[in-house]
């Protein structure tokens, strides 16, 4: 992955730069101009000031993924975008540890998040990164771990002698002066999926992080695919081969939230497994977690809830009773209406609604545009003294419907 130029990192890798960065408090955008002037007045070069303020800003942004560890790390913008959250990296590392793996090569280690997690479990880690600036960041981030070594090399050419486990996080973006652009074809990743499969073919324990939108028909045979969501956002699908694949698990949805974790698994291949009945919109509507949808486990959740799909092709579930589940968000069904903009405008007016949350699935309607049509006169702030409502737009057979619901 081509990342930030080396000179953007180099000033930080000096005693002066490291000390100056450590002296800064949390980054505040409204203080950046004043702080820049103060640091320049104190005699620091423009390159040094730019570098430390960039790192300060990235550290503050990185706290969402790394927590308090972010305060001691250094980052690149593109590296942070693709970096694994530490809570997820810890689960990756746990797989290798529980499989009895002693030495893991982290190929395409990026900023070193997964290497940090692996090393913290006392595994020997060889962290390989092709991009020079990113490798420098990883070296600094892994200084506390004597059992981790960073190698500046291409992942496909480094020696794996003595290595019994491999973790990969292929670059799925290209970086240019205009920003980063996502790559969709797994064979265009760096390294490509075929390289991952060749490693697995050697018998080593192999895990690889892929984008959550990976099509089912691109998932190799003989591996476990685990989709992971954090706080409702699907962050990845991890493919596990050989010793780190769990027996009898082909696909899984792991849901991580503030109250802990929950997982749903299936030994069936994609497209197989139970079939949920289809029925009317009634009682409670459940919106499955994105990891459940990606893993093809919506029918499994519907059956757990004693419910049914509202349409066989759409991932909305209804059940007559309310059930507590980590795998779906529940809404109480209030009213079911045909989708008609004129009628919905009258409904909004009659109900005195000023704040409208619109969800959709199985329809081409754009929620933002519809909200402008249904709430004439500007933003929700102008209607703050009015009622709020939630509409779910979907399709049942050939009919488009609008379902008024209340979040539980």
Return the residue matching tokens 């509409």.
391
Q: Is 205 exposed, middle or buried (0-12, 13-18, 19+ CB in 10 A)?
A: buried
* Residue 271 maps to a domain: no
Tokens 């190929």 locate to 107
The CA distance from 381 to 404, in Å, is 22
Report how far residue 294's alpha carbon sits from residue 51's, in angstroms, rounded to the nearest whole number.
40
Task: Quote the tokens at residue 58.
Answer: 């990235």
The verdict on 149 and 218 lying in the same domain is yes
Report how far Cα 230 is from the mean position of its chain's Cα atoms: 7
DSSP 233-295: EEEEEEEEEGGGSPTT-SEEEEEEETTEEEEEEE-SPTT-S----B--S-BEEEEE-HHHHHT
Verify that 344 and 322 share a domain, yes or no: no
Are residue 137 and residue 207 in the same domain, yes or no?
A: yes
Say whether both 234 and 311 belong to one domain: no
Residue 66 domain flag: no
Largest pairwise CA distance in the chain: 72
Nearest to 131 by CA among 109, 116, 147: 109
75: in domain? no
- Alpha-carbon span 45 to 47, nearest angstrom: 5
Contact between 237 and 223 under an 8 Å Cβ cutoff? The reply is no
**Same structural domain for residues 238 and 114?**
yes
Name which of 214, 228, 207 is nearest 186 in CA terms: 214
- Mean pLDDT, rounded, for 238-244: 98
Local confidence band at 380 (pLDDT 50, 70, 90 cut-offs): very low
Which spans in 148-233 are helix H?
A: 193-201
The residue range of the domain holding 170 is 80-266
Could you tell me if 109 and 127 are in contact, meaning their C-beta atoms sit under 8 angstroms apart? Answer: yes
In a domain, 127, yes or no: yes
Indicate if 91 and 236 belong to the same structural domain.
yes
Q: How many CB atoms lie within 10 A of CB 329?
A: 15
Verify that 55 and 136 share a domain, yes or no: no
- Determine the Cα–Cα distance for residues 376 and 379; give it in Å rounded to an integer: 9
Measured from the Cβ of residue 326, the count of other Cβ atoms closer than 10 Å reads 18
> What are the structure tokens assigned to 387, written together?
């009622």
Residue 148's CB is within 10 A of a number of other CB atoms, namely 25
> Per-residue confidence at 39, pLDDT binned at 50, 70, 90?
very high
- Same domain (yes/no): 301, 250: no
Tens digits of per-residue pLDDT, 176-226? 566 667 767 777 777 889 999 999 999 999 999 999 999 999 999 999 999
Q: With respect to residue 272, please indicate whether it lies within any of the assigned structural domains.
A: no
Kindly report the CATH number assigned to the domain that includes residue 98: 3.40.50.150
Residue that is written with structure tokens 């329809």 in the block: 363
Torsion of CA 61, 65, 68, 73, to 10 degrees: -70
> pLDDT per residue over 135-175, tens digit each?
999 999 999 999 999 999 999 999 999 999 999 998 776 66
295-341: pLDDT as tens digits: 999 999 999 999 999 999 999 999 999 999 999 999 999 999 999 99
Contact 133, 101 (CB under 8 A): no
Q: Are residues 168 and 219 in the same domain?
A: yes
Asked if residue 237 and residue 222 are part of one domain, the reply reads yes
Verify that 304 and 364 share a domain, yes or no.
Answer: no
Number of folded domains in the chain? 4
Is 235 part of any domain?
A: yes
In a domain, 102, yes or no: yes
Per-residue pLDDT tens digits for 114-142: 999 999 999 999 999 999 999 999 999 99
Q: Do both 25 and 114 map to the same domain? A: no
Q: Is the pLDDT of residue 107 over 50?
A: yes
| Residue 276 belongs to a domain | no
């Amino acid at each position: 992955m081509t990342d930030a130029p080396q000179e953007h990192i180099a000033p930080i890798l000096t005693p002066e730069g490291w000390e100056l960065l450590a002296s800064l408090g949390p980054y505040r955008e409204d203080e950046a101009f004043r702080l820049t002037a103060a640091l320049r007045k104190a005699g620091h070069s423009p390159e040094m000031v730019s570098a430390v303020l960039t790192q300060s800003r990235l550290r503050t942004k990185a706290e969402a993924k790394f927590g308090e560890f972010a305060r001691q790390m250094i980052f690149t913008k593109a590296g942070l975008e693709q970096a694994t959250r530490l809570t997820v990296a810890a689960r990756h590392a746990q797989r290798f540890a529980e499989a009895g793996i002693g030495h893991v090569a982290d190929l395409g280690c990026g900023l070193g998040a997964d290497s940090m997690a692996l090393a913290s479990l006392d595994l020997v880690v060889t962290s390989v990164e092709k991009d020079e600036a990113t490798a420098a960041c990883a070296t600094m981030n892994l200084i506390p771990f004597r059992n981790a070594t960073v190698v500046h090399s291409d992942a496909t050419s480094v020696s794996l002698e003595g290595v019994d486990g491999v973790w990969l996080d292929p670059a799925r973006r290209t970086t240019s002066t205009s920003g980063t652009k996502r790559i969709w074809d797994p064979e265009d990743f760096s390294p490509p999926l075929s390289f991952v499969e060749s490693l697995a073919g050697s018998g080593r324990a192999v895990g690889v992080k892929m984008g959550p939108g990976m099509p089912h028909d691109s998932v190799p045979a003989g591996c476990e695919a685990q989709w992971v969501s954090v706080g409702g956002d699907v962050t990845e699908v991890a493919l596990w081969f050989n010793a780190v694949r769990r027996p009898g698990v082909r696909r899984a949805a792991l849901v991580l939230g503030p109250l802990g974790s929950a997982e749903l698994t299936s030994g069936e291949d994609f497209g197989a497994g139970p079939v949920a009945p289809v029925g009317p919109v009634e009682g409670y509507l459940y919106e499955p977690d994105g990891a459940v949808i990606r893993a093809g486990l919506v029918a499994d959740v519907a059956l757990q809830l004693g419910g049914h799909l509202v349409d066989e092709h759409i991932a909305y579930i209804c059940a007559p009773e309310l059930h507590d589940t980590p795998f779906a968000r529940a809404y109480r069904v209030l009213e079911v209406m045909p989708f008609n903009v004129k009628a919905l405008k009258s409904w909004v007016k009659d109900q005195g609604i000023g704040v409208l949350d619109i969800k959709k699935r199985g329809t081409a309607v754009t929620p933002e545009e519809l909200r402008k049509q249904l709430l004439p006169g500007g933003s929700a702030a102008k209607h703050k003294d009015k009622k709020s409502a939630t509409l779910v737009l979907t399709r049942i057979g050939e009919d488009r419907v609008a379902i008024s619901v209340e979040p539980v």
